[in-house]
Chain A
Amino acid sequence: MDKSPRSPKTPTKFNYEKDDSSFWEKFSTLGRKKKIKEVQEVQEEGKYAIDSPGMPNAPEIPPEDYNLEDNEQRSIIQPQCLNLPQVRDLLQLLIDWINDELVEERIIVTNIEQDLYDGQVLHKLWEKLTGNKLNVLEVTQSEEGQKQKLSVVLNAVNHTLGFHHTMPKWTVESVHSKNIVAILHLLVALVRHFRAPIRLPENVSVTVVVVKKSGTKLTAEKFEEQITTTYDDVGMKCERDAFDTLFDHAPEKLQVVKKSLVTFVNKHLNKLNFEVVDLSTDFRDGVYLCLLMGLLGGFFVPLHEFHLTPKDQDQMIHNVAFSFDLMQDVGLAKPKARPEDIVNADMKSTLRCLYNLFTKYRNIA
């Protein structure tokens, strides 16, 4: 099973509380305990000093940053928004995705604003996603150089994303000034364009405060800025086929197709006392696909080969990828979809996959 290498999960903060409750801790005196804590703190600080980005995050915004020119306006994200669960999910998902893509470059992103503003990671990400090379300096130190590089990179990105006449929601300035809203828009656009194998949380929006100075008056307005919308296709783009036509032009026929596929899979799954109700979600954990392959192909699938009750995304992806392997072993064409597309409940990918089974096995009892 050749799965693309997955990067280790983005490091999360080390959990000291758990450490405290360890068995040995109980034996140590309080004094020792304190010392251990001190050592750990120093270690942590040292680690941070090494790992932290070159430009230290100033604790206070320097005055020139909030000094507005006349009539200038500036938008700032409402900091509370970043703690909303769906926003946090989105950030984590994007970070994991970037890390998965850049695992071969040995790049690990931990913080979206801090790691993306200088164009370095964006440069690598664009090269990885398009397979092209971009002729810019690898490393730049000066702010001027950074901006120059970022502008070249963003130019290329905008070109790839097809911004010729319309303006993207990000600029060199906004990205470089670590405006998280701009960076999020940029990343979401990339995810959508390249059909990254992730499912974005839908309809995520953040509150943005726009501050405007007119004369001596500062006015602040709040906006809801929508970052993601709803998507009916998260699967990989591929050559148009009958399913695209069905989706676009004949939704009523689509219902018929769905219905006959449900009948087909249930005819077989019922033998094991399973029943599919919703095509789009019941297949995403891959379990039914594995069982169905056994039922249709005339073999038993040993239960250690897949997760009968998958606990996380990775186990689901394993299941679907394994069922894809079985499909190819029995002579079916390699599914066009990625395992992730099925796990992300992409309707078209799931339907294509089941339809393939249906055409080969429709006549078996």
Chain B
Amino acid sequence: MEDIFYWCRENNTIQVRLWLDDTENDFNKGDDHGFSALHWSAKEGHTKLVEMLLARGARVNATNMGEDIPLHLAAAHGHIDVVLMLIKAKSDINAQNEHGNTPLHYACFWGYQHIAEELVNHGALVSLANKDGDTPLDKAKSLLAKRLHDLAIESGQELKKISIKDNQWLGLKTRSRDATLSRYKGINIEDLKLHTKVSISPSGETWRGRWQNNDVIAKILTIREITPRVSRDFNEEFPKLRIFSHPNILPLIGACNSQKHLVTISQYMPRGSLYDLLHSAAGIVVDTAQAVRFALDIAKGMAYLHSLERIIPEFFLNSFHVMIDEDLTARINMGDCKFSFQERGRIYQPAWMSPETLQRKRADRNWEACDMWSFSIVVWELMTREIPFVDLSPMECGMRIATEGLRVQIPPGASAHLSKLIKICMNEEAGKRPRFDMVIPILEKMGAKF
């Protein structure tokens, strides 16, 4: 069958590129055995493809059914270039598969000395036992074993055997997503099993549930009346939110359009939104380093959104609309976009909006620059860990931003870099605000310091 996995095996870069350009395609999905595109490319040693996939943000630590991450496969098949790329992309170097083997186990077993040395140099443990109690050194032939032993001592490794702990794989691994997720868009409301109501907001009720053995979040939209026109607009608009092709965007998986309800389905994110993380006792410490990482994630997601054709359901950036993945990746939630018929004339979070968003129609303003303003408020929020204008009701807040020049204040003693970034992004003149692709390198530079 000709599919993305086939093209990755066959090193068909053109087909892969075309496939990646379609936003509805989820490059983190796996095939029947949970092999993602990156798994296949790493296994076959196609450096070009690995490079392309990593550049687009494919998950480097995704696992297949055997709990292998791409690094296992690259090491086992002797692709040194790919191994180095994956290490550079922060692969979990001591990831253990279902047998408890690490990439180093395979490199030793197959006698790839060069790879084994690189792995040890990057922190692979020579004495981590698999389920049978064997360490990589046990798997290596005597000469290689000797060399690795010396290397390990040089880098100060403990040589006492580390036995496998089954709960160890909680770390960075996330299994390749079920391939079925991106396959359906129209979902039968009867197939949804909703079990817990999470919240009620003016836009609708949010429920947790199961669909096709996946944990999902279903949002039942509050609509005064589902007219044929609303139903038609919904059908036209929701597929545009199925953006699977960027790691910092959380796509809408699908939707139900029944006569009584309009429901949108997204992946369940146990950590909740950035707002929850910052302003409730979530037990996660957001230090400046983490704040910069979140800001970078958001900027990448927004830059990608802006690179697409303008999407019709409007997305308003604020910390409610950014979700946090298990691995602390921030993802722009497409499920929080506003359909054209939704909440018309009502803005519930004006604090994050630019003065012109509050006053002018979308057609009459530079909406990309408006997003940049919202981004600066999110950065302010990350920096201060406060809710902007918390003591004002939305109506008062909006009126004062729009007509009286109310702005967030940068507290004394704040990070000079972040403060400067906020000021640049909040330029009163929309045309003078930077674009997201200009902000990314600045944040990357800041992030490199931590």
Are the CB atoms of B360 and A298 closer together than 8 Å?
no
Are the CB atoms of B346 and A303 closer together than 8 Å?
no
The answer for the CA separation of A300 and B360 in the assembled complex, in Å, is 13
Q: Does B12 sit at the interface, judged by CB under 8 A? A: no
Q: What is the interface size of chain A, counting residues whose CB is below 8 A from a CB of the partner? A: 20
Are the CB atoms of B345 and A302 closer together than 8 Å?
yes
The answer for the CA separation of A297 and B393 in the assembled complex, in Å, is 10
Q: Does B413 sit at the interface, judged by CB under 8 A? A: no
- Choose one: A300, A304, A328; the contact of B397 (CB below 8 Å): A300
Q: Does A201 sit at the interface, judged by CB under 8 A? A: no
Contacts of A246 in B (CB 8 A): none
Main secondary structure of the interface of A (DSSP, over half): helix
Contacts of B434 in A (CB 8 A): none
Are the CB atoms of B224 and A302 closer together than 8 Å?
no
Q: Give residues 370-408 of B contacting A (CB, 8 Å).
A: 393-399, 402
Are the CB atoms of A298 and B348 closer together than 8 Å?
yes
Are the CB atoms of A304 and B361 closer together than 8 Å?
yes
Most-contacted residue by chain A among B202, B345, B346, B358 (CB, 10 A): B345
- Choose one: A272, A302, A322, A328; the contact of B396 (CB below 8 Å): A272
**A322-B345 CB under 8 A given contacts A298-B394, A299-B395:** yes
Nearest CB on A from B430, distance (A): 16
The answer for the CA separation of A326 and B348 in the assembled complex, in Å, is 13
Contacts of B13 in A (CB 8 A): none
Q: Does B359 sit at the interface, judged by CB under 8 A? A: yes
Nearest CB on B from A33, distance (A): 41
Are the CB atoms of A302 and B395 closer together than 8 Å?
no
Most-contacted residue by chain B among A272, A295, A301, A328 (CB, 10 A): A301
Per-residue interface assignment for chain B, residues 316 to 358, with 1 indicating a CB less than 8 Å from any chain A CB and 0 otherwise: 0000000000000000000000000001111110100000011
Q: Give residues 288-342 of A contacting B (CB, 8 Å).
A: 291, 294-295, 297-305, 322, 325-326, 328-330
Q: Give residues 256-315 of A contacting B (CB, 8 Å).
A: 271-272, 291, 294-295, 297-305
Are the CB atoms of A304 and B393 closer together than 8 Å?
no
Are the CB atoms of A303 and B361 closer together than 8 Å?
no
- Chain B residues with CB under 8 Å of chain A are 202, 224, 343-348, 350, 357-361, 364, 393-399, 402
List 27 contacting pairs A-B, 8 Å CB cutoff, sorted by A: A271-B393, A271-B395, A271-B396, A272-B395, A272-B396, A294-B346, A298-B348, A298-B394, A298-B395, A299-B343, A299-B346, A299-B395, A300-B348, A300-B358, A300-B397, A301-B345, A302-B345, A302-B347, A302-B359, A302-B398, A303-B402, A304-B359, A304-B360, A305-B344, A326-B345, A328-B224, A330-B202
**7 residue pairs, one from A and one from B, having the closest CB atoms:** A300-B398, A294-B395, A300-B350, A299-B346, A300-B347, A305-B345, A300-B394
- Chain A residues with CB under 8 Å of chain B are 271-272, 291, 294-295, 297-305, 322, 325-326, 328-330
